[in-house]
């Protein structure tokens, strides 16, 4: 672990571990490795991974005094020693393939993105499908993945006038990131397609299809396949 790691108390029951201050795949991989290993050793804590930082939350109401194992000094020492031994091992993360119907009514901004990037709509689609992304973090709304790895040629400013409601499943580009709206939400990202995959299901054992650290690939499908998959989903 590089020595740049910084542990800061955020609140009485929470520490923020900073691994850097940029959006960088290597830094983000360290965040996920740390989250996984801390969870294994301390199942009672809550971890919130972000691009370059990790929130670690204890239960402060159980703390009784300075000598307690939950005292801040003890928590800090425990975190410090565990983080010193974190290794970013070979990538054992899952890969999830997301089928996407690009363009048309599913992706009303595809032509705008094509115009801005001086690519044809088909080139935008093939570049969007060509890379493997990483779920940097989930936030904004339950199950909303912030994906790292967008082809820089596809970077595109957000809309000046955000939509009041973006349809569930919309696949979108915002700046140099891409993401998927799990449910109908207001949003300013450019919509290039829509997936029939259910991103967030409250009643599933694992409610979020994607987890922080997962690898993601997009696979282009046509409107017919989209509708068939939506039917099967029920």
Partner 1 sequence: MSVLVIKPGLLTSVQDGGRAGYAGLGVGRAGAMDWPAWRLANALVGNAGDEAALEFTLLGPTLRFEQNAVIALTGADIDAHVDHHRIPTWTCCALPAGSVLRLGGMRHGCRGYLAVRGGWATPVVLGSRSTDLHARIGPFDGRSLQANDQLAIGASDACAWLRPADATHVLPWGLDPQPWLDYHNGPLALMRGHHFDALDAASQHAVFNTTYTISKDSNRTASRLDHASLSLQQPLELISEATLPGTLQLPPSGQPILLQSEAPVTGGYPRIGQLAAVDLARLAQRRPGDTVCFRETTLDESLQRLAQRQERLQRLLRHIAQRQSEE
Question: What is the size of the binding site for partner 1 (CB under 8 A)?
Answer: 46
* Closest to 177 measured CA to CA, from 216, 219, 223: 216
Query: Smallest distance from the beta carbon of 200 to partner 1, in angstroms?
Result: 8
Tell me whether residue 48 or residue 129 sits nearer to partner 1 (CB atom).
48
Query: Smallest distance from the beta carbon of 62 to partner 1, in angstroms?
Result: 9
Length, in residues, of the chain: 234
Query: Smallest distance from the beta carbon of 128 to partner 1, in angstroms?
Result: 22
Tell me whether residue 9 or residue 115 sits nearer to partner 1 (CB atom).
9
**8 part of the interface to partner 1, by CB under 8 A:** yes
By CB under 8 A, the residues from 15 to 74 that bind partner 1 are: 16, 18, 21-23, 35, 46-55, 57, 60-61, 63-65, 72
Query: Smallest distance from the beta carbon of 82 to partner 1, in angstroms?
Result: 18
Q: Residue 135 has which token pair?
A: 């779920």
User: For partner 1, what does the binding mask look like between residues 124 and 153, x meaning CB under 8 A?
Assistant: -------------xxxxxxxx-x-------
Tell me whether residue 34 or residue 124 sits nearer to partner 1 (CB atom).
34
Tell me whether residue 25 or residue 207 sits nearer to partner 1 (CB atom).
207
Query: Smallest distance from the beta carbon of 161 to partner 1, in angstroms?
Result: 18
Stretch that binds partner 1, among 124-132, 149-157, 162-170, 208-216 (CB under 8 A): 208-216
Distance (Å, rounded) from C-alpha 221 to C-alpha 194? 10
Residues 186, 128: contact at Cβ < 8 Å?
A: no
Query: Smallest distance from the beta carbon of 8 to partner 1, in angstroms?
Result: 6
Phi, psi of 233 (to 5 degrees): -65, -30
Q: What is the DSSP letter of 158?
A: P
Query: Smallest distance from the beta carbon of 115 to partner 1, in angstroms?
Result: 27
Sequential DSSP letters for 81-146: HHHHT----S----EEEEEEEESTTT-TTHHHHHHHHT--HHHHHHHHHHS-EEEEEE-SSTT-EE
Distance (Å, rounded) from C-alpha 179 to C-alpha 172? 6
Q: Nearest 5°: CA angle at 40, between 37 and 143?
A: 80
- Residue entry with tokens 């449910």: 183
Distance (Å, rounded) from C-alpha 200 to C-alpha 180? 11
Tell me whether residue 40 or residue 231 sits nearer to partner 1 (CB atom).
40
> What is the binding site for partner 1 (CB under 8 A)?
8-14, 16, 18, 21-23, 35, 46-55, 57, 60-61, 63-65, 72, 137-144, 146, 183, 200, 202, 207-208, 211-212
């Amino acid at each position: 672990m590089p020595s740049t790691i910084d542990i800061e108390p955020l609140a009485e029951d929470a520490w923020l571990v900073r691994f850097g201050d940029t959006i960088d795949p290597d830094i983000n991989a360290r965040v996920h490795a740390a989250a996984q290993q801390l969870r294994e050793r301390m199942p009672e804590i809550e971890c919130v991974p972000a691009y370059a930082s990790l929130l670690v939350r204890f239960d402060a109401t159980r703390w009784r005094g300075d000598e307690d194992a939950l005292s801040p000094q003890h928590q800090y020492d425990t975190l410090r020693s565990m983080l010193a031994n974190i290794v970013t091992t070979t990538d054992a993360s899952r890969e999830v393939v997301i089928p996407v119907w690009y363009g048309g009514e599913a992706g009303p901004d595809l032509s705008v993105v094509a115009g801005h990037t001086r690519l044809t709509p088909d080139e935008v689609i093939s570049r969007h499908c060509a890379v493997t992304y990483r779920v940097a973090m989930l936030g904004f709304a339950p199950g909303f993945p912030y994906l790292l790895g967008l082809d820089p040629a596809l970077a595109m400013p957000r809309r000046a006038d955000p939509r009041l409601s973006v349809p569930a499943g919309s696949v979108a580009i915002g700046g140099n990131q891409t993401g998927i709206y799990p449910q109908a939400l207001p949003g300013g990202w450019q919509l290039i397609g829509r997936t029939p995959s259910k991103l967030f299901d409250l009643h599933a054992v694992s409610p979020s299809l994607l987890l922080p650290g997962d690898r993601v690939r997009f696979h282009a499908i046509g409107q017919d396949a989209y509708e068939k998959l939506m039917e099967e989903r029920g």
